[in-house]
Chains A and B, each alone.
Chain A
């Protein structure tokens, strides 16, 4: 799907030399003084990623700030979800995938180093999926699942965390009387918020959200977006979305991907009002994608 650069560039408004130059200014914008270097949480450098023989990501350079919401946008198959799933190594579950080049560092630690414990990594980098996927267990058990994995069994602690997480996910009032009923009995939007509650229960530093609202109706979407706003104070959030209004509403910074490359990365306001790259402009104004 994602193929060699020349062909994709032919189909685009601007000449083939664009992508590298598009990345460079973005990175430069990033390192300007008003954003001090120590707020960088995730540092992605020159990453190439392959599904078997197919290259999905090429030379990605990106720095994600601590306690900010970063949105990945781009047309289908542009590699934004792939990059997201690299951040907690979920791609390891798919046979034949590999990070061929480059490093992804979180707080300076390369997470693709051989001595990294993937399980520890995933406790620190939680994830919410496109389709809500509560376990076929009770709401209470859904939330405590990650905690029990860590061997925490104190009932009082667990109760407290369940309440805190559900409140954090703005779901407490709706489900407090039926914590022991199945998580599958909730509505779509509630299920997705339950998944968010489940993710924050283990207190990760980063929450990855892979199109969390794509299966939800507008009302449920609005609730989840509100939730994202409240979560930014405690967590670093990376969200992949197809919905540009959503990116504009929720995120602090936005990265635009196209065919496996990072085209532009800047403050969300700039991306939507004053994009540096014509491809970005074409995409955010709805001319393609």
Chain B
């Protein structure tokens, strides 16, 4: 009895204290939390590491590029390039003359019905003129050729000295003092080395005056052209030539005031990259790391790709979301999404083997010759790469645009129909405007997809590192280009780690990184800002 009362009197403990099941000092809840938190942390850390690595490798470039530009000046390469530019301009003018000759031949053969021999004979006066114009530059060319050798020799000496210094540094680092002392370094005395280079100034001045006289004399004695339109072209040529001659004093002044000790400002190593119009590596003369040709290539290819992908992607999204029956939806959606499952290297292969060939064959159809840029002979070019990239961008644009359309409240559609709108009117005036922000961000993300794509452009864009000729108008899209992604993939495997070239590729990578970041940020911003408030 007393036992039972005791049991009743002492109630069971209010069991709410924590269970002490512990694993490595953690409870189960803590362990689960740590697991998920750890996963999130790893991705953040990896992103941070990649960013830091990119920056660390990339930023060394600017110091190296400055050194690169400094040696360009000190070894007199810059000096030589002033004169070289002058001869190059002259070459461009002579090309204009040969084009003029081709036109005259064509005119004489077609309009005047002369035989080829007769036509050539009729152009004897013109040939004499062209020859006089062309050969006037020869003395200057000889000077450039001599100077090139001298400057290259100075540069080589400098590089050898640098290598020796590096060798000594390494020997010292491993403690081989004796061997290090034995390494003989010839310090380059630029002032002395440049002396012979600068002494050619008087010869140059004389040659230059003579050139100006000869050209002027040749121009004055230019023969008459057989047709007014060709005559107009000759006039244009004369204008160009006179402008060219008028530029001589400026070149002379450049040469006379040129000073190898003039410092290279730090910003120039940056501007030379960002605004540089030449990407030239492993050259015997001077390496240039200018990103513009690559940037223009990337932008041009992406532009063509979007131009094709936006109508297809958005159009397909509108159709599937607004018009298609359920059966059609079930068929079309997986099909478009499947495109993104094709490996891009396979697409690139398809581009080389089939699309490039086909497009070129199409371009050579005579009835299509009115299309700008047609006919063309480069199988791999912006157009080919753009078409394939469009295929890659379509699934991205389609899926996201479809989502955006899906988010338009059904009430808008009903209201529009109830006011007597047709299906098309409802789509064009209500549904698409209401989802425009989503569609724009879909396009931007498609752009991000396209600009970062590597394999297709590497295989199909033609890989010519040069700014395409925009004077061809829209025809520019039938020219080959190289891209930022392509150049990294192509050259990264061959460069010496730590060299300026290696670092330049990293800076290109950084630029891509920032572009993608910007595009994604813009896309998200647009969605956030212009999302319609519903209800």
Q: Name which of B326, B412, B417, B419 has the most chain A CB atoms within 10 A of its CB.
A: B419
Chain A residues, CB < 8 A from B535: 131
| Contact across chains for B422 and A119 when beta carbons are under 8 A apart | yes
Apart from A93-B417, A136-B433, A137-B433, what are 5 other A-B pairs with CB-CB below 8 Å? A95-B325, A122-B420, A127-B418, A133-B412, A133-B414
* In the complex, residue of chain B having the shortest beta-carbon distance to the beta carbon of A96: B326
Chain A residues, CB < 8 A from B201: none
* In the complex, residue of chain B having the shortest beta-carbon distance to the beta carbon of A148: B429
Complex CA distance for A149 and B325, rounded to whole angstroms:
26
Q: With an 8 A cutoff between CB atoms, is A120 at the interface?
A: yes
Q: With an 8 A cutoff between CB atoms, is A198 at the interface?
A: yes
| Contact across chains for B420 and A129 when beta carbons are under 8 A apart | no
Complex CA distance for A122 and B415, rounded to whole angstroms:
11
Chain B residues, CB < 8 A from A198: 415, 419
Interface string of B404-448 (1 = CB under 8 A from A): 000001011111111111100100011001100000000000000
5 tightest Cβ-Cβ pairs between the two chains A and B: A133-B411, A123-B420, A146-B419, A127-B418, A122-B420
| Contact across chains for A129 and B417 when beta carbons are under 8 A apart | no
What are 7 of the A-B contact pairs (CB < 8 Å)? A90-B417, A93-B413, A95-B326, A135-B412, A136-B532, A149-B425, A195-B415
Tell me the minimal C-beta distance from B295 to chain A in angstroms. 38
| Contact across chains for B418 and A120 when beta carbons are under 8 A apart | no
| Contact across chains for A119 and B420 when beta carbons are under 8 A apart | yes
Q: With an 8 A cutoff between CB atoms, is B533 at the interface?
A: yes
Would A184 and B422 be within 8 Å (CB), given that A129-B411, A133-B409, A145-B429 are in contact? no
* In the complex, residue of chain B having the shortest beta-carbon distance to the beta carbon of A130: B411
Tell me the minimal C-beta distance from A201 to chain B in angstroms. 9
User: Count the B residues whose beta carbon is within 8 Å of the partner chain — how many?
Assistant: 23
Interface of B is mostly: helix
Please pick, from B409, B414, B420, B532, the residue contacting A146 in the complex, using a CB distance under 8 A.
B420
| Contact across chains for B420 and A150 when beta carbons are under 8 A apart | yes
Q: Name which of B415, B416, B420, B434 has the most chain A CB atoms within 10 A of its CB.
A: B420
Q: With an 8 A cutoff between CB atoms, is A199 at the interface?
A: yes
Please pick, from B411, B425, B434, the residue contacting A131 in the complex, using a CB distance under 8 A.
B411
Chain A residues, CB < 8 A from B532: 136, 184
Chain A residues, CB < 8 A from B419: 122-123, 126, 145-146, 149, 198-199, 202
Task: Give the residues from 68 to 114 in chain A that come closer than 8 angstroms, CB to CB, to chain B.
Answer: 88, 90, 93, 95
* In the complex, residue of chain A having the shortest beta-carbon distance to the beta carbon of B530: A136
Interface string of B308-343 (1 = CB under 8 A from A): 000000000000000001100000000000000000
Chain B residues, CB < 8 A from A88: 418
* In the complex, residue of chain B having the shortest beta-carbon distance to the beta carbon of A215: B535
Please pick, from B325, B416, B433, B533, the residue contacting A184 in the complex, using a CB distance under 8 A.
B533
* In the complex, residue of chain B having the shortest beta-carbon distance to the beta carbon of A141: B429
User: Count the A residues whose beta carbon is within 8 Å of the partner chain — how many?
Assistant: 26
Please pick, from B415, B422, B425, B430, the residue contacting A129 in the complex, using a CB distance under 8 A.
B415
* In the complex, residue of chain A having the shortest beta-carbon distance to the beta carbon of B408: A136
Complex CA distance for A93 and B434, rounded to whole angstroms:
20
Residues of B bordering A, CB below 8 Å:
325-326, 409, 411-422, 425, 429-430, 433-434, 532-533, 535
Tell me the minimal C-beta distance from A56 to chain B in angstroms. 18
* In the complex, residue of chain A having the shortest beta-carbon distance to the beta carbon of B425: A149
Chain A residues, CB < 8 A from B429: 145, 149
Tell me the minimal C-beta distance from A77 to chain B in angstroms. 20
| Contact across chains for A93 and B416 when beta carbons are under 8 A apart | no
Tell me the minimal C-beta distance from A190 to chain B in angstroms. 14
Chain B residues, CB < 8 A from A90: 414, 417-418
Complex CA distance for A145 and B415, rounded to whole angstroms:
10
Complex CA distance for A88 and B415, rounded to whole angstroms:
12
Chain A residues, CB < 8 A from B418: 88, 90, 122, 126-127, 129, 199
Complex CA distance for A134 and B533, rounded to whole angstroms:
12
Complex CA distance for A137 and B412, rounded to whole angstroms:
11
Chain A residues, CB < 8 A from B430: 135
Complex CA distance for A95 and B420, rounded to whole angstroms:
19
* In the complex, residue of chain B having the shortest beta-carbon distance to the beta carbon of A123: B420
Tell me the minimal C-beta distance from B348 to chain A in angstroms. 42
Please pick, from A133, A135, A202, the residue contacting B420 in the complex, using a CB distance under 8 A.
A202
Complex CA distance for A134 and B415, rounded to whole angstroms:
8
Tell me the minimal C-beta distance from B408 to chain A in angstroms. 9
Tell me the minimal C-beta distance from A122 to chain B in angstroms. 4
Complex CA distance for A123 and B422, rounded to whole angstroms:
11
| Contact across chains for A135 and B414 when beta carbons are under 8 A apart | no
Complex CA distance for A150 and B420, rounded to whole angstroms:
9
Chain A residues, CB < 8 A from B411: 129, 131, 133
Complex CA distance for A184 and B409, rounded to whole angstroms:
13
| Contact across chains for B433 and A119 when beta carbons are under 8 A apart | no
Chain A residues, CB < 8 A from B413: 93
Task: Give the residues from 156 to 184 in chain A that come closer than 8 angstroms, CB to CB, to chain B.
Answer: 184
Complex CA distance for A145 and B419, rounded to whole angstroms:
8
Complex CA distance for A119 and B426, rounded to whole angstroms:
12
Chain A residues, CB < 8 A from B533: 184
Complex CA distance for A137 and B14, rounded to whole angstroms:
62
Chain B residues, CB < 8 A from A120: 420
Chain A residues, CB < 8 A from B434: 135-136
Chain B residues, CB < 8 A from A129: 411, 414-415, 418
| Contact across chains for A135 and B415 when beta carbons are under 8 A apart | yes
Chain B residues, CB < 8 A from A195: 415
Complex CA distance for A149 and B421, rounded to whole angstroms:
6
* In the complex, residue of chain B having the shortest beta-carbon distance to the beta carbon of A208: B418
Q: Name which of B413, B421, B532 has the most chain A CB atoms within 10 A of its CB.
A: B421
Complex CA distance for A95 and B328, rounded to whole angstroms:
14
| Contact across chains for A149 and B420 when beta carbons are under 8 A apart | yes
Chain A residues, CB < 8 A from B417: 90, 93, 122
| Contact across chains for A133 and B433 when beta carbons are under 8 A apart | no
Chain A residues, CB < 8 A from B414: 90, 93, 127, 129, 133
Complex CA distance for A93 and B423, rounded to whole angstroms:
10
Chain A residues, CB < 8 A from B416: 135, 145
Tell me the minimal C-beta distance from B181 to chain A in angstroms. 81
Tell me the minimal C-beta distance from B237 to chain A in angstroms. 54
Tell me the minimal C-beta distance from B142 to chain A in angstroms. 73
Tell me the minimal C-beta distance from B440 to chain A in angstroms. 15
* In the complex, residue of chain A having the shortest beta-carbon distance to the beta carbon of B434: A136
Chain A residues, CB < 8 A from B325: 95
Complex CA distance for A129 and B415, rounded to whole angstroms:
8
Complex CA distance for A131 and B409, rounded to whole angstroms:
11
Complex CA distance for A146 and B417, rounded to whole angstroms:
10
Tell me the minimal C-beta distance from A203 to chain B in angstroms. 11
Complex CA distance for A145 and B417, rounded to whole angstroms:
11
Tell me the minimal C-beta distance from A145 to chain B in angstroms. 6
Chain A residues, CB < 8 A from B409: 133
Tell me the minimal C-beta distance from B147 to chain A in angstroms. 69
Q: Name which of A88, A146, A195, A198 has the most chain B CB atoms within 10 A of its CB.
A: A146
Chain A residues, CB < 8 A from B433: 136-137
Complex CA distance for A18 and B418, rounded to whole angstroms:
36
Complex CA distance for A138 and B535, rounded to whole angstroms:
16
Tell me the minimal C-beta distance from A283 to chain B in angstroms. 28
Tell me the minimal C-beta distance from B385 to chain A in angstroms. 38
Chain B residues, CB < 8 A from A199: 418-419
Chain B residues, CB < 8 A from A123: 419-420
